[in-house]
Amino acid sequence: MVTASKEKSPDEPDSSVAKTEGSLFSVIYTVAKKVAVVGAIYFVGYMGWSVAWLIAPVILSVARTEMRKKTDLRRNIAKASAIATEREMILARIDELPAWVYFPDIERCEWVNRILKQVWPNANHYAKGLIKNTIEPNVQKALANYKLNSFKFDRMILGTIPPRIGGVKVYDKNISRNEIIMDLDLFYASDCDINFNLGGMRGGIKDFQIHGMVRVIMKPLINKMPLVGGLQIFFLNNPNIDFNLVGVVDLLDMPGLSDMLRRIIIEQVGAIMVLPNKLPIKLSDEVPAVTLQMPEPE
């Protein structure tokens, strides 16, 4: 029996050559990095500078690396939870759930998550407008207090991962007959790609995450379609917010500076839709806009 031998095409790239080139580049890069470090140490000693010029960058680098490891782990866990189904999440963490945790007043809403997944590309455009027209001016004012000017969003891609609702509670007692009140356990771990310009520096935000309890008030109920005059949407408390800086401003992702940026973001979200502030959405022309902006009577 004669077996046909496979001959290598002359046009086909040699994988061994590619591997050799890759390993050679890795060796050169490692040697160059070590030479740069040794050269920096020699230069500091030659100039007679204090040893603090060497210790301070090392401490900052180690602190930044450890902080990045923790935040990356937390973001990966959160993103996996956002993508996984409710059944997968429960099975993965069944040992962590005590027997008495049943929450009988909070209902499952997997059907809502399926709807959100379907409409998210359309809601994406509305969210972009909200960020550009509302959040951007507020961030500009806040950064001006720190002498950081010319902040502007250049590109906003919110990604394909929609928000996820962990549970919903609809109130049927002690409420007006002219409204519907519900609380939503909102979790959003996005694959967004947002670019911005800050004082000539170009940077970006990725892995934006937000988690909190959102209250939605449908009011007033009307006799014509869509039967609801408008919506009031707000967080009951400050939500948990996290994100990852990329680009040139990644250098600002240090302890202290990073906390300042996160505090500004949280403050601006709070100024828009954290109680007592509410995000009004008008659904009918018959309802005056002031009706949705008025605070609830005490």
pLDDT digit string, tens, across residues 228-249:
999 999 999 989 888 887 776 5
Which percentage of the chain shows pLDDT scores above 70? 64
Residue 10: inside a domain, yes or no? Answer: no
Same structural domain, 232 and 87: yes
pTM to 2 decimal places: 0.62
CA distance 71 to 246: 14
Q: What is the pLDDT of residue 50?
A: 64
Read off the pLDDT band of 214 (50, 70, 90). very high
CA dihedral sign, ordered 288, 125, 163, 157: negative
Read off the pLDDT band of 6 (50, 70, 90). very low
Residue 55: inside a domain, yes or no? Answer: yes
Q: Within 10 Å of residue 151's Cβ, how many Cβ atoms? A: 17
Could you tell me the two tokens for 92? Answer: 């993965």
CA distance 235 to 194: 23
Indicate the burial class of 101 (C-beta count within 10 angstroms; 0-12, 13-18, 19 or more): exposed
Of 64, 80, 99, the last residue of a domain is: 64
Beta carbons of 155 and 128 less than 8 angstroms apart: no
Residue 228: inside a domain, yes or no? Answer: yes
CA distance 155 to 153: 6
Q: What is the pLDDT of residue 206?
A: 84
Of 38, 64, 90, the last residue of a domain is: 64
Mean pLDDT (whole number) for 245-267: 67
Residues 6+ apart with CB under 8 A from 206: 191, 192, 193, 194, 243, 244, 246
Same structural domain, 56 and 130: no
**pLDDT tens readout for residues 189-206:** 888 888 888 777 787 888
Same structural domain, 131 and 279: yes
Same structural domain, 180 and 210: yes
CA distance 268 to 85: 31
Residues 6+ apart with CB under 8 A from 137: none
CA dihedral sign, ordered 176, 178, 179, 180: positive
Of 64, 86, 118, the last residue of a domain is: 64
User: Domains in the chain: how many in total?
Assistant: 2
**pLDDT tens readout for residues 101-156:** 445 678 888 889 999 999 998 888 888 888 888 888 888 888 787 777 788 888 88
Return the closest-CA partner of residue 166 out of 269, 69, 89. Answer: 89
Range of the domain at 107: 71-293
**pLDDT tens readout for residues 40-94:** 766 766 676 665 665 666 666 666 666 776 777 676 666 666 666 656 655 555 5
Beta carbons of 209 and 188 less than 8 angstroms apart: yes
Residue 11: inside a domain, yes or no? Answer: no
CA distance 113 to 124: 15
Q: What is the pLDDT of residue 230?
A: 93
Same structural domain, 150 and 266: yes
Same structural domain, 23 and 154: no
CA distance 151 to 137: 9
Which string of b and e fits 11-41 if b means at least 16 CB within 10 Å?
eeeeeeeeeeeeeeeeeeeeeeeeeeeeeee
CA distance 279 to 293: 8
Q: What residues does 22 pair with on adjacent strands?
A: none
Give Cα separations from 117 to 185, 223, 241, 281 (angstroms): 16, 30, 22, 21
Residue 193: inside a domain, yes or no? Answer: yes
- Encoded amino acid at 124, one letter: N
CA distance 228 to 283: 7
Per residue, the 3-state secondary structure of 47-80, as one string, reads HCCCCHHHHHHHHHHHHHHHHHHHHHHHHHHHHH
Q: Phi and psi (nearest 5°) for 32?
A: -60, -40
Q: What is the pLDDT of residue 233?
A: 93
CA distance 21 to 24: 5
Same structural domain, 110 and 237: yes
